[in-house]
Chains A and B, each alone.
Chain A
């Protein structure tokens, strides 16, 4: 089911079967070119498949943007250990809801992508790790997997070619941290979703310490079309160094929020004004987050001239991330936004390392106070300082994810913090070194 109208400006490659009647059914999938890419792969060598994916310039769609072909090439295919394919369907980056529509509308596309990856590295078993909240998607995926077994696309002798591959779903139980690949593997092994020391990376020592290809749903879903079109043609859909299309979730203060498949390099202005129908209520855009709440926040002015691709965003000091675009209009309370973002990371911090565990907690408390206008300008400095003290020092990227938006909000919207504290009369305003005493 689709939750928003498609836009004519979309380039519908991954989503091209969306909206077809019974689009999740294998018959629909097969009738529209499904599993052809996999069959094509059966005639290719493993090197050829990986080369094709490399040529496509496909970069990981989960948020980190690591080149997928390269990641696959790290798998020691000669290793006597079993190899695994793991799908990261633990979509939990705030602002992101794209994997959900992919699995809901075209589950076989994911299965085919997984099958191709399995073929490329010689894996015989795969797991789709789906976040616990997406229970209905487990049912959809289980049904699709059953269909694939019944049509001999999964099992011990796939298409009579002597190939073996088993695929299973696996539910999470509510932990953002499990979206981090090594934490996901821990969770999949029945443990707390705490990240692992890396290296070794999952490609070498992943699930059960065996070589593992672990990618995001959208990444796997991109693979069949890469094989179909050829890596080079697929790459040309996007920009140099980042091929293809990207499912982009427009969220926040926009007239037509929704998930849209846009070419990489799509201009921000066109995306907001034409695809998204402009800022809600004709207001101005105050802030812009390109790919989930972990990204540094841009001001509206900074964002308008950019294009939606990795390099453009990096140059502007932020990241393309997961494709969860968050748009905030001129009336947005940025202190509240900073607090809500920190509230999330504090809730999701696994507790493993000190800077993240204690830093997010302190920042949440501090921002809660500042949101109520209780504080001094020294407290505003402290927010930035504490976030800086987390940045780059935590065990996994969650610490950075909490620090980056905070640092950028304090830097770019400091005046809003100051305005808040100015509203509340503080008994000892002159001495910044004294704890505040409030008279309301």
Chain B
């Protein structure tokens, strides 16, 4: 399996950032960065990462299935993550999530048929003072009302 030259460069730098013999440390970041490019953690990617870090594939499987940001199936081009944890809940994040389900026609961890959007109810994303908060891929949006949510989605649709 080969990755883009930029990613290869990034991975080389990543592996070099751990002491010799401790390359396994690169596992979680490597999975994150490659997932960003590949779209999800495919069985081939598991094998590839295992090979590059010289570890048994089962050790990669152990890690992939542990971390909630690593996905076995592709998420949408825009992965909408709505925090409904306590601080956001107090600002009606549960209602925002329901609104999002309606707006996108998706449920928790579902992907739209065209692959453009996916929705996930996530745990605290560290935006508690600016609740309710969502992340579209890695981008934060704060104080998200249902109206603001619609604007965000609509503008993403326009970008397509």
A contact set with B: CB distance below 8 Å: 3-4, 82, 91-97, 99-100, 125, 131-136, 166, 168, 170-176, 187-193, 208, 249-253, 257-259, 293, 324, 326-328, 332, 336-337, 340-341, 344, 347-348, 350
Contacts and interface: CB of A to CB of B under 8 A. Distances in A.
A208 B22 CA distance: 8
A237 B124 CA distance: 31
22 contacts: A3-B129, A94-B128, A95-B86, A132-B67, A133-B138, A170-B29, A171-B28, A171-B33, A172-B67, A173-B67, A173-B68, A190-B24, A190-B59, A191-B59, A191-B62, A192-B63, A193-B66, A250-B129, A257-B130, A326-B86, A336-B89, A347-B68
Contacts of A188: 25
Contacts of B142: 3
B87 interface: yes
Nearest to B63: A192
Interface of B: 17, 19, 22, 24-29, 31-33, 53, 55, 59, 62-63, 66-70, 84-87, 89-91, 123-131, 135, 138-140, 142
**A94, A166, A258, A332, most chain B CB atoms within 10 A:** A94
**A133, A187, A258, A344, most chain B CB atoms within 10 A:** A133
Nearest to A84: B19
Given A82-B19, A326-B86, A189 B128 contact: no
A134 B90 CA distance: 23
B67 A175 contact: yes
B24 A189 contact: yes
B24 to A, nearest CB: 4
Given A133-B126, A133-B138, A191-B62, 11 more contacts: A95-B87, A174-B69, A175-B67, A187-B28, A190-B59, A208-B22, A251-B90, A252-B86, A337-B86, A340-B84, A350-B66
A347 B123 contact: yes
A348 B123 contact: yes
A353 B50 CA distance: 28
Nearest to B81: A133
A176 B123 contact: yes
Given A94-B123, A175-B66, A192-B63, A3 B130 contact: yes
A133 B69 contact: yes
B68 A135 contact: no
Contact of B129 (A97, A134, A191, A208): A97
B41 to A, nearest CB: 10
A125 B19 CA distance: 9
Contacts of A341: 86
B69 A173 contact: yes
**A95, A208, A324, A347, most chain B CB atoms within 10 A:** A95
B85 to A, nearest CB: 5
B50 to A, nearest CB: 11
Contacts of B131: 251-252, 257
Contact of B26 (A3, A166, A190, A258): A190
**A82, A100, A190, most chain B CB atoms within 10 A:** A190
A213 B125 CA distance: 26
Contacts of B135: 133
Contact of A91 (B28, B126, B139): B126
Contact of B124 (A94, A136, A253, A350): A94
B129 A251 contact: yes
A263 B126 CA distance: 22
Given A82-B19, A326-B86, A95 B130 contact: no
B143 to A, nearest CB: 9
B128 A97 contact: yes
Contacts of A347: 68, 123
Given A82-B19, A173-B31, A134 B86 contact: no
